Amino acid sequence: MIVTVTLNPSLDRTIEVDVLARGEMIRARSARLDPGGKGVNVSRALLAGHVPSTAVVTVGGPDGDQLHGLLRAEGLAVRAVPVAGRTRSNVTIAEPGGVVTKLNEPGAALTGAELAQVADAVMAAATADTAVAGWVAACGSLPPDVPAGIYADLCRRLAPAGIRVAVDSSGPALLAALPARPDLVKPNREELAEAVGRPVDRLADAVGAARELRERGARGVLVSLGADGAVLVDGDGVIAGQAPVDAPRSAVGAGDALLAGFLAAGARGPAALAEALAWAAAAVRLPASRMPRRSDIRRDTVRVQPHPDLDRPLTPDRPLVT
């Protein structure tokens, strides 16, 4: 069982346009509404891949009810924690070629009592099957005023039960989690550079920065590098890989699909990295924040290098996979 926790979920409306021009009336080519939030997307990807998962989410107001309804309609197992604030809404404008513009609301603050209820829900979901020591994936940004150490607290609470924790966040929340020794952290290139305070322009930079996060406490580091693929740095060494996409449609949720594929494949070694890249590439080929089904995943395009060229420069363009 893989449990995901999303403290700042959303309703995600994605609108596809031919070109985004400021100040003009633009006719949309298509639009869709999906449940959103990084942990939510990880669970949705696992569901599409027929991997058991439970999503722990906060829900508030009519938008929270709609989010819960969308998740249940997809067939996802959900532990919804009611909160006083309103669930946020996000808008993504997608242009051809995978270029996206995102407008994200900040979300509502959570009280100490609400955070305690979330922690209890995560623990209950993670220990529902005591025969399996699974994963908890703590994902996404934190709502306003939530302590940066919330993911670290989860790591410390779950470790005695033998439950492994993956943290996919950024900024203070990521840094605060490191001393609690999460089993995995999954920054993207921008988040990794922010964490170490220096640019990540070559594969060697990504590897060096990932090693620094391991020195600070992370047991494994999976870095999504957009069009340049991903790199895994853990106790077994360094592995890199790529999965080129000829016709990208949307990168929204692709990094979440990467994490889902990695966890689904055992979260260790070249095979897990290859599966992660295949899931992420499949997500990039799909519109909006759709998660790939088994039939969408192509493994023939994946290339994994156990001994990568560390001098390889990274693409200067904005990453496709976050």
Task: Walk me through the domains of the chain, giving residue ranges and CATH numbers.
Answer: 2-305 (3.40.1190.20)
Q: pLDDT-derived band of residue 35, with 50, 70 and 90 as boundaries?
A: very high
Question: Residue 204: pLDDT above 70?
Answer: yes
Q: What are phi and psi of 226, to 5 degrees?
A: 65, -130
The pLDDT value given to residue 6: 97
Give the model confidence (pLDDT) of 47-58 as tens digits. 999 999 999 999
The pLDDT value given to residue 132: 54
Give the model confidence (pLDDT) of 287-317 as tens digits. 877 888 999 999 999 999 999 999 999 998 6
Question: Residue 319: pLDDT above 90?
Answer: no
As a whole number of angstroms, the longest Cα–Cα distance in the chain is 58
Q: How many CB atoms lie within 10 A of CB 77?
A: 17
Q: pLDDT-derived band of residue 130, with 50, 70 and 90 as boundaries?
A: low
Q: pLDDT-derived band of residue 133, with 50, 70 and 90 as boundaries?
A: low
The mean pLDDT of the chain is 93
User: Residue with structure tokens 């722990």?
Assistant: 56
256 labelled catalytic: yes
Selection from 282, 290, 249 nearest residue 16 by Cα: 249
Which residues are CB-contacts of 126 (< 8 A; sequence separation ≥ 6)? 1, 3, 134, 136, 158, 161, 163
pTM of the complete model: 0.92
**Which of these is catalytic: 205, 256, 296, 311?**
256
Cβ atoms of 297 and 278 within 8 Å: the answer is: yes
Q: pLDDT-derived band of residue 211, with 50, 70 and 90 as boundaries?
A: very high
Cβ atoms of 92 and 288 within 8 Å: the answer is: yes
- DSSP letter, residue 299: -
Rounded to whole angstroms, the Cα distance separating 308 from 53 reads 33
